[in-house]
Amino acid sequence: MRRRVWGTAAVVLALLGIPAPAGAAGAAPHGSGPLPLERLFDNRAISDDARPGDADFDGSGASLSAPDLAAAGWTPGRVLGVEGAHLVRPDTRAGEPDNVRADGQWVRLRGRGDALAFLVAGTGGDARGSGTVRYRDGSRSAYRLTAPDWRTGPLATKSVALPHVNAPDGQRAEKARLYVVTVPLARGREVASVRLPRDPGAADLHVFALSVRSLATGWTGTWSASTAGYAPVGPWADRTVRLVVHTSAGGPRVRIRLDNTFAGAPVRVGSASVAVRDAGARARGAPAALTFDGARGAEIPAGARVFSDPLRFAVPAGADLLVSFHLPGTVTATPVHSQALQTSYVSEPGDHAADGAGASYTSTVGVWPLLTGVDVAGGAGSVVLLGDSITDGVGSTPDTNRRWPDVLARRLLEEPGAPRRGVLNQGVSANRVVGDRYPGDGVSTDTGGVSALHRLDRDVLAQTSARTVVVFQGINDLRAQAPAAEVLGGLREIAARARARGLRVVAATLVPCAGEARCTAAVDAERAAVNAALRRDGAGFDAVLDFDAALRDPALPSRLLPEYDSGDHLHPGDAGLAALARAVPLEVLRG
């Protein structure tokens, strides 16, 4: 086996201020102490298509395709940003050992953060086991890890899916999967080493990479949108997309986040800029150029994310920004947030990210592609609002920022003594707590997203400076005939997982919807059961907001108050959404 060279990745991580992943730092200690992860590799999972016999991932001779990984942008030694963590794909040739079967080995690792991130897959079924984290102060904590099976695990939670499986009898056209799974750490303590799960069971748990997910200190999330699906667009060939987004908190520096969620191939961004909006696609002053690791553009691997470099740029609170990025290639489908309720723009051919006048932006678009976050320097952290179409703003007047998260953000800015939190809207229209609408892979016109449980890590736990999460969803599950017990089980799991990461977790009762076709009397009875449980015992949440009481018609409690109804009996209009924002006691957001 050739020597793995970690130098380039380690330098990149050091420049970014990111703790080095396991295996990336220094020489192995002598004796039986913890070893770098690469020194423990005992399995060959990746083969060249022409030599599939060089690897045997699962004991049957099957393996991952090295060309498929390269086509996805997952090249050897590459730093991959997934689930808020930075992991390095092993720098190995096809057919060399590239992962370890977990069996209680101690791995040397350093860093502070909120979670460990593992690049894993199971073989022989979903693999589960318990491990240990040892900290520099001598203390320890336990964790539980599940690695879904590489051929049958859920596509909704995979980090990358590959189109083929290499096998001794030839290449098979079936999807192979790799997963990034995170587990909580004791905050404030420095990790010294990690013990991998011992004897996880009949299935083998394979670990390819491991890192500490560091906290985004010094930044506050001011705007966000959840990736709701992977949908057809354009096609856009050599076009610049100019997206309009509305800030909550302000700050003296800015960075953006681009996510290639659910994709099967990399996407290339040629250049990018940010500006304060004047009107339409016109900027107030010259757009400021953004860079990525010092370069004008970036390639984003399938399933991964990139942040722009910090830029000194005064971001006003409660203002419209123009975030522009040039797509030099042909883009026929992209990760999207479908219900932007905001007019954005696409240019004529060419790189127009630096254009301030806006005349080159000759067409409009009603989705937010690729862009999932805008952060500002400083601030007091963010509150994340996890919800469905009501949080997404469906029913509000487009292009006016009257979603209830927007109104809440204005309250936080204007009311004396209010916590100056950023507000991150992670609502997805048609989303459910438990069931996936979008299957999690491939091009689809369904942009209802994967379930709240499946998107929790990406859309809440990995959000910049998240302090509090408000969970307001479940009505779509009930309208799809899920029982109240199933919804409550999902909500309790969300509460437990978020609290384990140190977040304050707030729930909201479900608002009435009688009169809408699928909101039958039976559905309303289940809704009442969910609300009763939230009011009675909190379902594991730190606080409960009674949105039901804020919007229901006292004369007919199964319906929205008429002045709050957008007209479809399911979504509140502008007045109803403002009432939801007013129903939030601001002290519950101080977590």
Question: What does each of the 591 residues of the chain score in pLDDT, given as a tens digit?
Answer: 222 333 334 433 443 444 444 444 333 333 468 999 999 999 999 999 999 999 999 999 999 999 999 999 999 999 999 999 999 999 999 999 999 999 999 999 999 999 999 999 999 999 999 999 999 999 999 999 999 999 999 999 999 999 999 999 999 999 999 999 999 999 899 999 999 998 767 899 999 999 999 988 899 999 999 999 999 999 999 999 999 999 999 999 999 999 999 999 999 999 999 999 999 999 999 999 999 999 999 999 999 999 999 999 999 999 999 999 999 999 999 999 999 999 999 999 999 999 999 999 999 999 999 999 999 999 999 999 999 999 999 999 999 999 999 999 999 999 999 999 999 999 999 999 999 999 999 999 999 999 999 999 999 999 999 999 999 999 999 999 999 999 999 999 999 999 999 999 999 999 999 999 999 999 999 999 999 999 998 889 999 999 999 999 999 999 999 999 999 999 999 999 999 999 999 999 986
Q: How far is CA 503 from the centre of its chain?
A: 16
Among 509, 512, 577, 502, smallest CA distance to 543 is for: 509
Euclidean distance between CA atoms 452 and 465, whole angstroms: 20
In the CATH scheme, what is the homologous superfamily, with its name and number, of domain 380-591?
Answer: SGNH hydrolase (3.40.50.1110)
* Tokens 């799974």, residue located: 181
Q: Per-domain residue ranges for the chain?
A: 7-213, 230-372, 380-591
The counts of H helices and E strands in the chain are 10, 35
Euclidean distance between CA atoms 447 and 338, whole angstroms: 6
Euclidean distance between CA atoms 341 and 344, whole angstroms: 10
Euclidean distance between CA atoms 161 and 122, whole angstroms: 14
The residues, any chain, with a CB within 8 Å of residue 3's CB and separated by 6 or more, are: none
User: CA dihedral in degrees (370, 374, 380, 384; nearest 10)?
Assistant: -30
Helix, coil or strand: residue 296: coil
| Res 591: pLDDT | 66
Which pair of tokens denotes residue 404? 């209830």
Q: Are 43 and 206 in contact (CB under 8 A)?
A: yes
* Tokens 């736990």, residue located: 461
User: CA dihedral in degrees (432, 437, 442, 446; nearest 10)?
Assistant: -110
Q: Are 108 and 193 in contact (CB under 8 A)?
A: yes
Q: Are 315 and 284 in contact (CB under 8 A)?
A: no
* Tokens 């690791």, residue located: 293
Which pair of tokens denotes residue 248? 């909550």
Helix, coil or strand: residue 484: helix
Helix, coil or strand: residue 286: coil
Which pair of tokens denotes residue 17? 């201020």
Amino acid of residue 186: A
Q: How far is CA 460 from the centre of its chain?
A: 7
For 155-179, letters b (16+ CB in 10 Å) and e give: bbbbbbbbebbbbeeeeeeebbbbb
For 280-302, letters b (16+ CB in 10 Å) and e give: ebbbeeebbebebeeeebbebbb
Euclidean distance between CA atoms 271 and 132, whole angstroms: 43
Question: Which residues is 299 bridged to in the sheet?
Answer: 268
Euclidean distance between CA atoms 459 and 491, whole angstroms: 15
| Res 202: pLDDT | 82
Q: Are 117 and 206 in contact (CB under 8 A)?
A: no
Whether the pTM exceeds 0.75: the reply is: yes
Q: Are 562 and 514 in contact (CB under 8 A)?
A: no
Amino acid of residue 477: D
Is residue 29 packed enough to be buried (19+ CB in 10 Å), middle (13-18) or exposed (0-12)? exposed
Which pair of tokens denotes residue 443? 């091009």
